[in-house]
Structure 1
Amino acid sequence: MKKMVYLNLTGYVQGVGLRYSVYNMAMRLNITGYAKNLYDGSVEIVAEGDEENIRELISYIKNGLRWARVENVVEKWEDYKGLYHTFEIM
Structure 2
Amino acid sequence: MGRHERPRDDAGQEAVRLEARVFGMVQGVGFRYWTMGTAEELGLSGEVKNLDDGSVSVVAEGPGPQVRKLLDWLNSDRTPGRVERVDDSLSQASGSFRGFRVL
TM over 0.5: yes
In structure 2, runs of 5+ residues without a counterpart are: 1-13
State the SS of the aligned residue for 1:10: strand
> Is 2:88 aligned against 1:75?
yes
CA distance in 2, matches of 1:71, 1:84: 28
Q: Flag the structure with higher strand content.
A: 1
Q: TM-score, normalised by structure 2?
A: 0.83
| Higher RCO structure, 1 or 2 (CA under 8 Å, sep 6+) | 1
CA distance in 2, matches of 1:59, 1:17: 18
CA distance in 2, matches of 1:68, 1:54: 21
Q: Which amino acid aligns with 1:31?
A: L
Q: Flag the structure with higher helix content.
A: 1
Greater Cα radius of gyration, structure 1 or 2: 2
In structure 1, runs of 5+ residues without a counterpart are: none
Number of aligned residue pairs: 89
State the SS of the aligned residue for 1:39: coil
State the SS of the aligned residue for 1:85: coil
Percent identity over the alignment is: 34
